[in-house]
Structure 1
Amino acid sequence: MHVTTVTPLAADSGPPLFQWKWVDRNADAIVQRLVEHISLTGAALGIGLVVSIGLAVVSLRYRWSYPVILGTTGALYVIPSLGAFAVLVPFFGLTFVSAMIPLATYTLLILVRNIVTGVDQVPNEVREAAVGMGYTRGRLLWQIELPLALPVVIAGLRVAAVTTIGLVTVTSMLGLGGLGYFIRGGIQTPIPNPTMIIVGVGLSVVLAVVVDLVLWLGERVLAPWSRKVRAR
């Protein structure tokens, strides 16, 4: 993979705190790292959502398993990210897999809990009406309960997305890119580069806000009835 190099900070190129000339010279590298950050975040959320739906289905089918699944995902959630990466690197090396396993794992507690909670909040009369119309348990879940639970599921996805965007900055330690590359680079240069740090942190915050807004808009489009319920 081609990696865009970063131009060193020039001493005479502008104010010491933030230098627009540095940003202009390194625009290609900034775009590359931003795309890497989005890709890692999207992959982690996608994998986490698929696994969480599976775990939520098991939890809803076998209620005794829900505390076990919640406890296990909760225990995984509190493992420090650097510690998780350090444990996996000896097995998978400095690879995409080493980063993706912890990133996806950290989404499970949030998503499983919200999916199960959302399904539990579906009114009983809706379930009874669906069963009276001949819906099987599987059809009831996929065609009635999960769509009605969508606002709660997306709320969990929003929290998971913002959390993952923050965690992806740590993957720069594995050499997998992302905006954390600039944060690490700005600290480790012989002369600290505040511009690199501001770019890394600032774009991470902007990305988190944009993704959260997109998911919020997605909820309004996919679940318009939720606005009427909240209005009441």
Structure 2
Amino acid sequence: MNVFDWFTTVANWQGPDGIATRLGEHIGYVLIALVIAVVIAFPLGLWVGHTGRGAVVVGAGNAVRALPTLGLVTFLFLLFTESTTATIIGLVVLAIPPVLAGTYAGLQAAEHDVVDAAEGIGMTGWQQLWKVELPIALPLVLGGIRNAVLQLIATAAVAAYVGLGGLGRFLLDGLAILDYTEVVAGAILTALLAIVFDLVLAAAQRALVPKGVRLAAQVSTGSAAAAGGVV
């Protein structure tokens, strides 16, 4: 059976082991981990970026990216003896660094002259953060979230290694019986899911980022390119 036949076989789409079920499980792991990571990393990134204190936290978060997710999930599974808890914690640890780094970098990228002007007209620190710094930082903040989502989709397959579902089941089960068509199909489904999510988030980013911020970024990029050409 080739990959096309595998996808067009009705039995592969139905039941507890079907594509629809596995896709729903995979998306569920990704969304749960993403929400928890954003709840933790976004406020922390705002605080660090706005106050300029605790930047070491961002560096530590980036260092966490070096941890092998499969090894971490396996260790947590042995620790908690519960597959779902171990998987979600492992995915959250993976998703926090890009969200934290994106939020911090976005606030740090805000022009100091703009922030000083906001302070000069009497804005409080809270107003400066929400009305000036965050709108300017939004492209990088959302970029960090997009990065986290793509990493989660690619890595949520580890859930299969501790007995859970998701698209990783096609990879693991296919390898177990040497059905490489199923393995390739699982990889294709994972890649397609990542592409769809990225397109949706790109559209959301374009809708949420203020037009003035987008235009300013384009002008800045054009100026940098022109300067590079002159040099």
- Contact kept? 2:102, 2:144, Cα under 8 Å: yes
Cα distance in 1 for residues equivalent to 2:82 and 2:180: 27
1:200 aligns with 2:200: no
- Which of 83, 102, 111 does residue 123 from structure 1 map onto? 111
Opposite residue 186 of structure 1, the aligned amino acid is G
SS, match of residue 19 in structure 1: helix
SS across alignment from 1:197: helix
Residues 200-232 of structure 1: CA deviation (Å, up to 9, x unaligned): 111100010111111111111111334322432
Amino acid in structure 2 at the alignment position of 1:142: W
1:89 aligns with 2:105: no
Alignment coverage as a number of residue pairs: 215
CA RMSD of aligned residues (A): 2.0
Paired residue for 1:10? none
1:57 and 1:227 map into 2 onto residues whose CA distance is 21
Q: Is the 8 A contact 2:170 2:183 kept in 1?
A: yes
Superposed, which structure 2 residues align to 1:95-114 within 5 Å?
A: 95-114=83-102
Match of 1:52 in 2: 41
| 3-state SS, counterpart of residue 108 of structure 1 | helix
Return the alpha-carbon distance in structure 2 between the equivalents of residues 94 and 19 of structure 1: 36
Q: Which amino acid aligns with 2:154?
A: G
Residues in 2 aligned to 1:98 and 1:39: alpha-carbon distance in whole angstroms: 15
Match of 2:212 in 1: 225
Q: For 2:179 and 2:69, how far apart are their aligned partners in 1? A: 25
State the SS of the aligned residue for 1:134.
coil
- 1:138 corresponds in structure 2 to 126
Equivalent residue, structure 2, for 1:12: none
- Alignment map for 1:62-77 (pairs within 5 Å): 63-67=52-56, 69-77=57-65
Q: Give 1:207's aligned amino acid.
A: L
- Greater mean deviation of Cα atoms: 123-132 or 143-152: 123-132
Distance in 1, Cα, partners of 2:213 & 2:190: 30
Structure with greater helix share of residues? 2
* CA apart distance, 1:146: 1.5
Do the aligned partners of residues 107 and 197 (structure 1) sit closer, same or farther apart at CA in structure 2, a change above 3 Å counting?
A: same
Look up the equivalent residue of 2:214 and give its one-letter code. R
Q: Matches of residues 140-179 of structure 1 in structure 2 within 5 Å?
A: 140-179=128-167
TM-score by length of 1: 0.84
1:29-77, Cα deviation, whole Å (9 max, x unpaired): 100110111111111111111211132134235534212x123212322
CA 1:175–1:23: 2 relative to 1, 3 Å:
farther
Q: Which letter does structure 1 place at the counterpart of 2:63?
A: A
Percent sequence identity is 30
Whole-angstrom CA distance in 1 between matches of 2:13 and 2:121 = 58
Say if 2:174 and 2:183, in contact at 8 Å, map to a contact too: yes
In structure 1, distance between residues paired with 2:200 and 2:126: 30
Matches of 1:88 and 1:20 in 2, distance apart?
Answer: 35
